[in-house]
Amino acid sequence: MSFPWAKHYEPSHPLMKWMDEKLPLPRLVYNAIGGGYPVPRNLNYMWNFGVLAGFCLVLQIVTGVIMAMHYTPNTAEAFNSTEHIMRDVNWGWMLRYAHANGASAFFVVVYLHIFRGFYFGSYKAPREMIWLLGVVLFLLMMATAFMGYVLPWGQMSFWGAQVITNLFSAIPIIGEPIREWLVGGFSPDNAALNRFFSLHYLLPFVIAGVVILHIWALHIPGSSNPTGVEVKKESDTVPFHPYYTAKDGFGLGVFLLIYCLFVFFLPNALGHPDNYIPADRLATPAEITPEWYFWPFYAMLRSFTSDFFFIPAKLMGVMAMFTSILVWFFLPWLDTSPVRSGRYRPAFKKFFWVLVIDVVVLGYCGGMPAEQPYLMIAQIATAYYFLHFLVVLPLVGWMETPKPLPFSITEAVLGSDDEARLEATS
């Protein structure tokens, strides 16, 4: 959003003036993330995660493209080429560990970014489009990560691919033909591996394109803020540069410290040992589990163990897993409260934290074997998850009494706002 008080780009150097006439890229940057883009002054650290997600995308693309120069997407050589990268390619071990742990870091950052959106009502009008694009981004990320994990062609790669591609056969009547068409055969083999490699290389660039739309959509209304009160005047904002470039720089430093701790000292902590075993379609692992970032959804998939009326349990599980993310698309319209930020919504706040605990519990159950008591716990947690988004949120918005909002961001930050006092006296 170009607020009226935004600074204007005024190049003084003749080269920059020439550039501005021919291809105004510096002007674009200045207006998007430079001194010419006003941002609410009260953003907290939960607002750092968007830029960290962008950094993770760049990191994954750079490490991935270089590894693709050494990787062979053929079932006979995929595992060996991955070990070749680890042992013989100069700094290959670093690329591989950076990429594998980069995927985990990407999901940590994106989950925090999404939950920021849940709590502070970032999905509410006028920012619905940003939110919708964000859900699309999350789905693209999940597809990319799933296909990437298949590429080393280890035991978990193969059996994870087997489980997830089998979900398509849950679709009545047309499911099985669709599954065989997508997989390129009766079960994941060379055809599936090759096309997963092709798509795994493609999708990150699709993600980059949608990220551009996501940021463009954001820059129309500008960022929200922890109070949920829209920007009214100049004292509510600071220019993005240097205020948020400095804060994001610090946030990046903290992120890199934790990330590099994993890459250099705990590189296999988040992985499953079975993926260091070459894929063997005749030997089913004792437990088939995806990477940790898919565990909540895996738990929901496995929760449906009994047929429900005429619907087979497998189909219930598949529908539940997809619906659990599709509901996010409808969040701007499900949440009925006129108050944006959870800070001023006491009842909503409690349900939000119940949701956080619920998702963590689901995550824990998803990583455990599909046995009791994990099944029981996951079933209750799944029931609450759908109840929360589709029943609780509409009702809470109607029924709760919100706390009084500050007049403006300036009042929230400085404690008082002249305009507020004027409003009160007039």
Place of tokens 């998850």: 385
Among 97, 292, 298, 407, binds other proteins (CB under 8 A): 97
Beta strands in 126-232 (DSSP E): none
Amino acid occupying residue 254: V
Amino acid at 229: V
Of 241, 247, 314, 349, catalytic = 247
What mask of x and - would describe binding to other proteins in positions 309 to 348, judged by CB under 8 A?
A: --x-x--x--xx--x---x--x--xx-x------------
CA distances from 384 to 120, 123, 281, 375 (A): 21, 21, 37, 14
Q: How many CB atoms lie within 10 A of CB 35?
A: 17
248 is catalytic: yes
User: In the complex, what is the shortest distance from the CB of residue 397 to other proteins, in angstroms, rounded to a whole number?
Assistant: 10
Host H or E run for residue 239: strand 237-239
Q: Among 236, 248, 411, 417, which one carries the catalytic annotation?
A: 248
Residues 100-139, one symbol each (x = binds other proteins by CB under 8 A, - = not), give ----------------------------------------
From the CB of 203, what's the least distance to other proteins, in Å?
Answer: 28
Of 380, 388, 379, which is closest to residue 331 (Cα–Cα)? 388
Q: Provide the mask over 201-240, with x wherever binding to other proteins is found by CB under 8 A and - wherever it is not.
A: -------------------------------------x--
From the list 51-59, 111-119, 288-296, 306-314, the region that binds other proteins by CB under 8 A is 306-314
CA–CA gap between residue 389 and residue 114 (Å, rounded): 14
Size of the residue set binding other proteins (CB under 8 A): 65
User: Rounded distance, CA 393 to CA 331, Å?
Assistant: 9
**291 is annotated as an active-site residue:** yes
> How far, in Å, CA of 387 to CA of 383, rounded?
6
**Cβ atoms of residues 332 and 389 within 8 Å:** no
Query: Is residue 269 a contact point for other proteins (CB under 8 A)?
Result: no
Is residue 425 exposed (0-12), middle (13-18) or buried (19+ Cβ within 10 Å)? exposed
According to DSSP, the β-strands at 237-239 and 38-40 are antiparallel
Task: Tell whether residue 424 is a contact of other proteins (CB under 8 A).
Answer: no
Query: Which H or E element spans position 238?
Result: strand 237-239
- Write each residue from 380 to 419 as x if it is in contact with other proteins (CB under 8 A), else as -, in one continuous string: x-xxx-xx-xxx--x-------------------x-----
Q: Is 86 in the site for other proteins (CB under 8 A)?
A: yes
Residue 242 lies near other proteins (rule: CB under 8 A) = yes
Residue 239 main-chain phi, psi, to 5 deg? -70, 145
For the chain, report the end-to-end CA distance as a whole number of angstroms.
30
**Do the Cβ atoms of 3 and 38 come closer than 8 Å?**
yes
Residue from 219, 232, 241, 314 carrying the catalytic annotation: 219
- Residue nearer to other proteins on the CB measure, 14 or 415: 415
Nearer to other proteins, 41 or 127 (CB): 41
3-state helix/strand/coil string of 97-149:
HHHHHHHHHHHHHHHHHHHHHHHHCCCCCCCHHHHHHHHHHHHHHHHHHHHHH
Q: Is 358 annotated in the active site?
A: no
Comparison of 141 and 315: residue with beta carbon closer to other proteins: 315
Only segment of 3-11, 184-192, 251-259, 404-412 that touches other proteins (CB under 8 A):
251-259
- For the question of residue 84 being annotated catalytic, the response is no
- Comparison of 134 and 397: residue with beta carbon closer to other proteins: 397
What residues contact residue 78 under an 8 Å CB cut-off, 6+ apart?
71, 72, 151, 152, 153, 193
By CB under 8 A, name the binding residues for other proteins.
41, 80, 83, 86-87, 93-94, 97, 238, 242-243, 246-247, 249-250, 252-254, 256-257, 260-261, 263-265, 267-268, 273-274, 276-278, 286, 303-306, 308, 311, 313, 316, 319-320, 323, 327, 330, 333-334, 336, 371-372, 375-376, 379-380, 382-384, 386-387, 389-391, 394, 414
Active-site residue set: 219, 223, 247-248, 291
